[in-house]
Amino acid sequence: MASSEFAEFVGEWILRQEGFHDELLAAKEHAGEEGFCDRDDLIARVIRHYKEYFERKAVVRENDCFALLSPTWFSRLEICFLWVAGFKPGLGIGIVKDAVGGLTNEQMDKMDMLELETIVAETTIEHRLAEIQRSAAALRAIRRQSREDNMAAQADVDWIATAMKGVVAAADALRMRTAIKIVGILQTAQKIEFLTAAATLYKKIRVRGSQRGGDASTSMQR
């Protein structure tokens, strides 16, 4: 999948996201009404929706990883929130602590443990990214001094691209793994609250970003 195709997919995915957001809001509003909707089915559909995004993103990652690091399909504001080509995994834990009610002591303990585990994993990924950036800078300096041919320069680009694919893949895996663990800790009504809060946050960022100047591709053309 080319990055242009993924950009089109993202636009369609966001439209479906808005539909799920409406369903989640309704389910949360009518939380005490038995039979209002099949909440477990809604949760499963929302999770599949997110998984589809990561599955499509993985294809782009293999073909054009650099496009994910400078996505033209997001606004400049959205890009400000990106961490290794996506949201920071620990964000979900913060959403739970801010927006989900009725957590038991056991749930809080599990969430605290997950938070520590996620911070360690995030730090590992950040260190690997820093290593690649240092290596890339060193390679550029060597090429400038040695004035080697284009073939050597292309080999450097290929190495950096392969290394970045690994970092983005690790980040995406951590994002999904953390989200799945969060959902596993929560009860059904809490899952609805969590998914609603996450969708609401993204919608606010998306709307504010579009109000402040459109997507990155539009901004670069100005």
> Residue 75's beta-bridge partner residues?
215
pLDDT of residue 142: 62
pLDDT-above-70 percentage for the chain: 87
Q: Which of 1, 5, 47, 56 is nearest to 24 (CA)?
A: 47
Let me know if 81 is exposed, middle or buried by CB neighbors in 10 A (0-12, 13-18, 19+).
Answer: middle
CA distance 73 to 53: 14
Average pLDDT, the chain: 89
| Cα dihedral 169, 170, 174, 177 sign | positive
pLDDT of residue 132: 93
Please give the DSSP secondary-structure letter assigned to residue 215.
B
The yes-or-no verdict on residue 115 having pLDDT over 50 is yes
Q: What is the largest CA-CA distance in the chain?
A: 73
Query: Tens of pLDDT along 152-195?
Result: 667 777 888 899 999 999 999 999 999 999 999 999 999 999 99
